[in-house]
Amino acid sequence: MDPHSDCQLVEVTPKTHDVLIDLAYATPRNFTGKPVYRRAVCYLHADAEKLLGRAVELAAAQGYRIKIFDGFRPSEAQWVLWNHTPDPDFLADPRRGSLHSRGVAIDLTLVAENGDDLDMGTAFDAFTPLSYHGDTAIPVAVQRNRSILLGLMSAAGWDFYMKEWWHYQLFDGRRYPVLSDETLAEGIM
The catalytic residues are 164
Provide the phi-psi class of 76: left if phi over 0, else alpha when psi is between -120 and 50, else beta.
Answer: alpha
Burial annotation 80-102 (CB, 10 A radius, 16+ → b, else e)? bbbeeeeeeebbbebeebbbbbb
Provide the phi-psi class of 50: left if phi over 0, else alpha when psi is between -120 and 50, else beta.
Answer: alpha
Q: How many other CB atoms sit within 10 Å of the CB of residue 30?
A: 21
